[in-house]
Amino acid sequence: MVEDQAGTWTWRFDPAIFGSLRNDETDRRIVDITCPVVAIHGEHSALTSPELATDFERRLGRTMPLLTIPGAHHHVPLDAPEALAAILAWLPETRSRDSSSATRFEPGAAALTATELI
């Protein structure tokens, strides 16, 4: 974290990380991902965008849902922990085996919106 000119704290990122995520090796290997993939995006993220998710989906070669968390920035677990917990409880891969204790995701619940990317 770094302090900005207004005296508030903000996250700082190394822009080189994005170049390392997009290269010939990752482009070749991305199609090897066989597990379910869901993109979770903070509405106000300055680092990711729905277009980035669309590009990833194209490279993945199959549809991938995009869940946008209204009001959240890039660090969704810090900005909207309850919303993220609700999504994780809703996802079949992370849902508790005891369905009575699992939180159900309902569109609009916890101020969430889901967009299916095609």
Please report the pLDDT score of residue 82 as a whole number. Answer: 93
Please report the pLDDT score of residue 36 as a whole number. Answer: 87
Over residues 65-79, mean pLDDT: 90
Task: Say how many Å lie between the first and final Cα of the chain, rounded.
Answer: 36
Q: Which of 14-23, 89-98, 103-112 has the lowest mean pLDDT?
A: 103-112
Please report the pLDDT score of residue 113 as a whole number. Answer: 42
Please report the pLDDT score of residue 7 as a whole number. Answer: 79
HEC-encoded secondary structure of 9-64: EECCCCCHHHHHHCCHHHHHHHHHCCCCCCEEEECCCCCCCHHHHHHHHHHHCCCC
Over residues 56-73, mean pLDDT: 90
Domain boundaries, the chain: 34-116
Are the CB atoms for 67 and 80 separated by under 8 Å?
no
Residue owning tokens 């990317």: 117
Residue that wins the pLDDT comparison between 12 and 110: 12
Residue that wins the pLDDT comparison between 87 and 93: 87
pLDDT for residue 80 is more than 90: yes
CA angle 48, 53, 59 (to 5 degrees): 130
